[in-house]
Amino acid sequence: MRIATGGLIDREKPIRFTFDGKPVTGFAGDTVASALLANDILLMGRSFKYHRPRGPVTAGSDEPNALVTVGEGAEARPNTRATCQEIYDGLTVTSQNRWPSLRFDAMAVNDLLSPFLAAGFYYKTFMWPRAFWEKLYEPIIRRAAGLGALSGQPDPDRSEKAFAHCDLLVIGAGPAGLAAALTAAEAGADVILATEDTRPGGRLLSETVTLGDQTGREWADRMAARLAAMGNVRVMARTTVTGVYDSGTYGALERVAEHVMPGEAPPTCFWRLVARQAILATGALERPIAFPMNDRPGILSAAATRTYLNRYAVSPGARVAVFGNNDDAHRTATDLAAAGVTVAALIDTREDATSDGAWPFYPGAEVIETQGRLRLEGLTIRKPGGTLRIGADALAVAGGWNPALHLTCHMNGRPVWQEDIAAFVPTANAIPGLTPCGAALGTFSTAGCLEDGRRAAEAALDALGHSPKPIDLPDAEDTPYSPPATWAVTAPGRAWLDLQNDVTTKDVHLAARENFRSVEHMKRYTTQGMATDQGKGSNVTALAILADATGRTIPETGTTTFRPPYVPVPISSMGAGHAGKGFAPERFTTSHEASTARAAPMIEAGLWYRPSYFPVHGEKTWRESCDREVRMVRECVGVSDVSTLGKIDIQGPGAAEFLDLVYTGTFSTLKEGRIRYGLMLREDGHVMDDGTTARLGPQHYLMTTTTAAAGPVMAHLEFVAQGLRPDLDVKLTSVTDHWAQFAVAGPRARDLLNSLLEEEVTDDAVPFMSCWLATVSGVPVRLYRISFSGERGYEIAVPARYGAALWRLLVAQAESLGGGAYGIEALNVLRIEKGFITHAEIHGRTTAYDIGMQAMMSKTKDFIGKAAAARPGLTESTRERLVGLRPRDPANMPLPGGFLFTKGETPSRANAQGYVTSACWSPTLETHLALGFLASGPERMGETLRFTDHLRNRDFEVTVTDPVAFDQDGGRMRG
Amino acid sequence: MADLIARPATHGLLPIEIGSVVLEDAQPEAITWIAPYNRKKSAVTRTLGGFPGPGQVVEVKAGRALSVGPGQALILGAPAACDDAAVVDQSDGWTVVALDGAAARDVLARLTPLDLRDSALSENATARTLLGHMTASITRTGPYRYELMVFRSMTQTLIHELTRAMKHVAARARLSGPG
Amino acid sequence: MRLTCPHCGERDLREFAYKGDALALSRPEANAELQAWHEYLHIRDNPAGPTRELWYHTPCGSWMVAERDTATHAVHRTMTPAEATK
Ligand SMILES: [Zn+2]
């Protein structure tokens, strides 16, 4: 019911939206809940387990009942709190967890079964037979229970994430938060003021309080304007601080554009706020009283009732009863009457309470029953001298306040019980640098909150090294808080605690009887507090009921805790921007465009994209292209982009000694202009990486790493330089991206180069494993004579700006000679034919000995991994060591991952003799080939083994061979 | 003999203007990495005409020198040489772009965990940090202008990330603007 | 969590990589007993309390040692490896 005047709504701006398809009109400034209440729609949802009809009980983010789906299709947001969602023209709102309709829900039959569905019901009932759980019980239970459904469509990933930094973060913008922000801002601190609400003010927007000669709302508006005008203050509205993390880092969810029609603006922004100091001014949440049938639509918190009344000019009913255990009940009755709403009754549990209002007043009374189905129709009270039925269409319940201390629990702080306010308050120093104040600390009067906010800000300023300036705070009400004592009403019937998970006081008593006496056990057993509202309304009350049931005091029974996030955070906000291209950086070589122009399929190698093969007209499978490219290299010349290999420039007087330490071999003896293959071990003796290193000058080396290990090798080298040998004068930098580098391989590689280079390449000038400076079209290039194909090979390196041009030139020249470009499929075949290893072989568990490179481990100097590689277990000949494998039938491919067995043995894991790491079809040798590791491998040449791949159902015989299947003496690459 | 045509990393991709922010190419003629050998920093400083301390940008003979790591600087400008330091040409290893405009800081705040406030990153300050998932170098060259550097191979990702953030910042401005 | 790189200053955790106990800086002599190597490579305490850890600041390539409390998550001090082994 809309009140004729007042409220923070704009009656000039009607807003039209739909609820379950039916048009509803509200005003700008309304939430879905306030607009529906204004239209006398109280039924907004169904409960999780019993499908009971429910309406809103709060006016904020702690709402357990009024969860709705907002929007449609992929943009739909299930489980949105109707109490927070602002309305806009065209908004569609749909109720949840009901079928076929909200008013008639077939699953409400669960409610009739509720005597059988008590706490622990599922555990007790569906234990047996065990196999039925997954197939039968769970699907049925899941269908019956639940909240909103996901759209099933991919998330459009329209949200964003951001970072912000400040001296002081003030969380909450009620009287305490505003006083704190003002104090800090006036002293010159960099302040972020975050409020969950659409505007600063907190409870001042909901109450009829005065501050000095202004209304609370006027003062809040004036303070907000003053703060907004200051350059050192950032006011973040619609921003809920959701979590506290180490070193002053806070997570916060900003609802950027959820209050307007979806458009270009991101719906949400997930902030990482970094603050040197913070102030918790999150206020308090009003708690319920557990009385029989306290869940009917129309029963809501008294604080929410005042919010709807004073802020939205809405009354939940025409005849509203008020029930409470403290003075807030009286304040509520006063506000209702002032708004012209009939106060059906004021029921106060305190026998000594008095009231001078013009309404029926019942001190020392309790609500023991309520009536109505889809909305409240009346209630029964027990008062001194008997019971009484009262007709009312709404009931406001004032159960006292729980400080909103949730964030103080995020780093393991445990709230402490404060007897004089009968509430938990934050434990001292729960979060380093975070100072709670105001109602969040148990100070409930307006004057107290203002003063507390100032005090907290002064403490924070002190820690920041700022001097506070005096600020004026207005006079405000300073009524002492009347501590509420009543948690529950003792009377027959179900009294609901956790509205979202349908947990009643009976369930808690049952848990206690069945010896789940610890709070944590009770919570798991009953599921109390484990729904999306994390028990904001019910935790403390449930604890009090458990204390009562077990005959202990509340502090004896335990405490409550809360985990991040304070409110649910959509996964689409946490992962914003990380779908598709945002998932990881894409690294492209300079030949990328030319490769894709030739329809080369790209394959990811780390972050890089490399061409698999270059299909030509008429080729139908990748194998056809790959085989052609291999033959091209073996018989003529091929060109391949190898820019992705890591390149590290190493210089300094200590460079030679440094390399001798990080490589198993000796590089101090390498001659200038020459290249050596290097093997790098981890300190535990296993192979880390391999590659070639060229000596470019007396103190200047260029190391290459594998594509995958470029980053880790760089970090390793820096570790050795900075951590182990800071005495060595050596400087390292990555030049991977500076150079575009192309392999030119094949019998005609030299011819190709000589058609391009200004200098003539001869074998005397450029012998195998040497490097040379040359020129192409006036551009200096580096030429390295190395081979990963087994053919005469060169790698030509040019500054990346020339990469695209040089690639086109090389491919054109290669094609004119009868060769062309080759991709990494062919590159892989070429190296398997030659028995060259990659990270398929040096996979982290193999040693130099295992890969047959024990001779490369210098005996005359120390190197990383030397001591550990000599450990007895790592040098036994029975270890699985590198071998070549050839199937008896050339058509059979021994797939990597398959296992090797001695002939005649059962192919079981225990009998495995080794495994396959790499395999290919060799067009050169016209057979499949593989590399693998075999126990005592090199001593078993010629033996026939059984290859079995249980996963892909392969089982055939292979013969053990030398890893080098082609050109064993290496004559082709040496030239 | 055909010419080798040089192609900038941002070829055909920039400039991009969205809202109040422009993203443009800012590639210098040369980028030279300099790391003075041990106990040679003052000699190198003399030769170059300066050497930046952590977080600093200093004018040197060849151009601007940015601190990029412990005992390391990049000189953006003309090619530089120095006998007392490891010197490496990285002109083609980095892509340098400039983000310019009143909301440039808001755009960056969507991608980097770096503190971008005046008190932490003043004009002519530089930082190695992250930009999205990329390691990057961010240098503030004006009140509303930042130069950003990532490895050349990541140019397209850099532009993709910045463009997305620029669109969001512009859309937010429209949201809170008139109407 | 935030850590202070000896070169760059205080930064967000996501800029760093954790690399284990700072013990790794104390590499045994080449001719040390196998037991010394075994302890260097494999034997680590798992304290609920103060630790000395190696971290790597990926953007600038600085290695550092952080004195940190695993129970409170407080970072007491960070320093270069050279400072840590002095
Ligand atoms: Zn750093």
- CATH assignment of A647-734, given 3.40.50.300, 3.40.630.30, 3.30.70.1400, 3.30.365.10? 3.30.70.1400
Query: What mean pLDDT is reported for chain B?
Result: 96
Report the DSSP beta bridge partners of residue B94.
B151
CATH code for the domain defined by A487-557: 1.10.10.1100
Q: What is the pLDDT of residue A180?
A: 98
Task: Answer whether A1-149 and A487-557 agree in fold.
Answer: no
CATH class of A592-644+738-831: alpha beta
Out of 3.30.1330.200, 3.30.930.10, 1.10.1040.10, 3.30.2270.10, select the CATH number for domain C2-84: 3.30.2270.10
Phi then psi dihedrals of residue A965, to 5 deg: -95, -20
Residues 6+ apart with CB under 8 A from A762: none
Average pLDDT, 10 consecutive residues per value, chain A (975 residues): 96 97 97 98 89 95 95 92 98 87 77 71 61 63 67 92 98 98 98 97 96 96 96 97 97 97 96 98 97 97 98 98 97 98 98 95 97 95 96 97 97 95 96 98 97 98 95 91 88 94 94 94 92 91 95 92 94 94 96 98 97 97 98 98 98 98 98 98 98 98 97 98 97 98 98 97 97 96 97 98 98 98 98 97 97 96 97 94 98 96 95 98 98 98 97 96 97 91
- Which residue in A74, A161, A152 sits closest to A576, CA to CA? A161
Please report the pLDDT score of residue A137 as a whole number.
61
User: Which pLDDT belongs to residue A140?
Assistant: 60
pLDDT at res. B179 = 39
Question: How far is the centre of ligand 1, averaged over its atoms, from the C-alpha of A729 (Å)?
Answer: 20
Q: Assess C81–A contact: CB distance below 8 Å, yes or no.
A: yes
Under CATH, what is the fold of the domain A876-974?
A: Elongation Factor Tu (Ef-tu); domain 3 (2.40.30)
Statement: B16-28+92-176 belongs to CATH 3.40.720.10: no
Q: How far is A74 from chain C (nearest CA, A)?
A: 31
CA C14 to ligand 1 centroid distance, Å: 12
* Residue A871 phi, psi dihedral angles, 5° rounding: -60, 145
Residue C62: list chain B partners with CB under 8 A. Answer: 69-70
Amino acid at A797: A
In our burial notation (b when 16+ CB lie closer than 10 A, e otherwise), range A766-781 reads bebbbbbebebbebeb
- Check if CATH label 3.10.20.440 holds for domain A1-149: yes
> Would you place residue B177 in the very low, low, confident or very high pLDDT band (cuts 50, 70, 90)?
low
If you write DSSP's letter for every residue of A132-151 in order, what string do you get?
HIIIIIHHHHHHHS-S----
What does the domain layout of chain A look like in residue ranges?
Answer: 1-149, 160-281+429-464, 288-352+361-399, 487-557, 592-644+738-831, 647-734, 876-974
What fold does the segment set A288-352+361-399 form as a domain? FAD/NAD(P)-binding domain (3.50.50)
Tell me: the pLDDT tens digits for C36-86? 999 999 999 999 999 999 999 999 999 999 999 999 999 999 999 999 988
- Over residues A499-537, the pLDDT tens digits come to 998 999 999 999 999 999 999 999 999 999 988 888 999
**Residues A739, A800 contacting (CB under 8 angstroms):** yes
- Dig out the tokens for A593 from the structure: 């465009």
Domain ranges of chain C: 2-84
Of A373 and B36, which is predicted with more confidence? B36
In terms of DSSP bridges, do strands A160-171 and A191-194 run parallel, antiparallel, or are they unpaired? parallel
Question: Residue A729's CB: how many other CB atoms inside 10 A?
Answer: 21
Q: Is B128 on the interface with A (CB under 8 A)?
A: no
Instruction: Name the residue of chain B whose CA is nearest to C12's CA.
Output: B113
pLDDT in tens, B112-129: 999 999 999 999 999 999
Please judge whether C59 and B128 are an interchain contact, meaning their C-beta atoms are less than 8 angstroms apart: yes
How far, CA to CA in Å, does A431 sit from each of A177, A278, A405, A762, B113? 18, 9, 11, 72, 22
Instruction: Read off the pLDDT of residues A612-625 as tens digits, 9 standing for 90 and up.
Output: 999 999 999 999 99
Q: How far is the CA of B49 from the centre of ligand 1 (A)?
A: 25
ipTM above 0.90, yes or no: yes
Q: Ligand 1 center to residue A650 CA distance, Å?
A: 20
Answer whether B173 touches A (CB < 8 Å): no
Residues of C in contact with A272 (CB under 8 A): 12
- Closest to A796 measured CA to CA, from A777, A778, A812, A810: A810
Domain coordinates in residue numbering, chain B: 16-28+92-176, 30-91
Q: Which CATH class is domain A160-281+429-464?
A: alpha beta
CB contact (8 A) between residue A737 and residue B94: yes
